[in-house]
């Protein structure tokens, strides 16, 4: 008695779809990993030094990119006044943790206007900015002093209260205008 089992082979389109998903997945995770640092550091915070010298690059390039009117040019179409501390958020408008940061940043922008500049750069639309600022994971928040020197860097979602606590730790205190309620 002979027993035979039917062997089915996956179609070429199935193999192709699976290959694309498997190959594209690491790239998507590297760019928007739910705020996890692929380098394996603790929680994504750093002192700004960065393994590739990103902090010094930020300071050097921001000094070189001051317009004649005293405005700092952060990226194409993104500027900030010189002299004010700057919270620079680098992310993407389609990244889930980045979208969660948007209302927090907008609230801080309006509440601390004139005391703290808050800017967002979409690194999926402006890849040069990602390279310039040494961004490996989004969202990344960079805290800069009024002259453009990087003070601190954080990767991942960062709450309003945590950001304000970090600014206080760095020696900055901002007066809450009381115009808007804190975002979650």
State the burial class of residue 106 (Cβ atoms within 10 Å of its Cβ: 0-12, 13-18, 19+): middle
The total number of structural domains in the chain stands at 1
47 vs 66: CA distance, rounded Å: 25
Is residue 33 included in any domain, yes or no?
Answer: no
Global confidence as pTM: 0.65
pLDDT over 90 percentage in the chain = 49
Please indicate, yes or no, if residue 4 is contained in any of the structural domains: no
Task: Report the C-alpha gap between 46 and 55 in whole angstroms.
Answer: 11
Residue 55 pLDDT grade (very low, low, confident, very high; cuts 50, 70, 90): very low
In a domain, 96, yes or no: yes
Q: Tens digit of pLDDT for each residue in 67-123?
A: 655 677 787 778 888 889 999 999 999 999 999 999 999 999 999 999 999 999 999
Residue 66 belongs to some domain of the structure: yes
pLDDT recorded at residue 1: 58
Show the domain range for 89: 45-169
What are the residues facing 122 on neighbouring strands?
91
The more confident residue out of 36 and 67 is: 67
Residue 13 pLDDT grade (very low, low, confident, very high; cuts 50, 70, 90): low
Cβ atoms of 151 and 74 within 8 Å: the answer is: no
177 domain residue, yes or no: no
The CATH number of whichever domain residue 147 belongs to comes to 3.40.30.10
pLDDT band at 144 (very low <50, low <70, confident <90, very high): very high
Q: 126 falls in which pLDDT band (50, 70, 90)?
A: very high
Is the residue at 21 inside a domain? no
Residue 78 lies in a domain: yes
More confident residue, 81 or 155: 155
In a domain, 82, yes or no: yes
């Amino acid at each position: 008695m002979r027993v035979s089992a039917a062997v089915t082979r996956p179609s070429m389109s199935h193999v192709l779809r699976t290959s694309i998903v498997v190959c594209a997945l690491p790239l998507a995770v590297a760019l928007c990993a739910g705020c996890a640092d692929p380098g394996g550091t603790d929680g994504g915070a750093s002192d700004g030094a960065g393994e590739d010298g990103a902090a010094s690059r930020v300071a050097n390039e921001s000094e070189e990119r001051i317009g004649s009117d005293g405005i700092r040019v952060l990226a194409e179409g993104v500027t900030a006044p010189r002299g004010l501390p700057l919270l620079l958020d680098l992310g993407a408008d389609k990244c889930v943790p980045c979208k969660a940061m948007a209302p927090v940043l907008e609230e801080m922008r309006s509440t601390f206007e004139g005391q703290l500049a808050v800017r967002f750069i979409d690194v999926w639309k402006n890849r040069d900015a990602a390279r310039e600022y040494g961004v490996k994971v989004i969202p990344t928040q960079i805290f800069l002093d009024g002259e453009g020197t990087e003070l601190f860097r954080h990767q991942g979602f960062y709450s309003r209260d945590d950001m304000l606590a970090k600014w206080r730790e760095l020696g900055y205190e901002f007066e809450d205008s009381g115009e808007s309620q804190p975002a979650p």
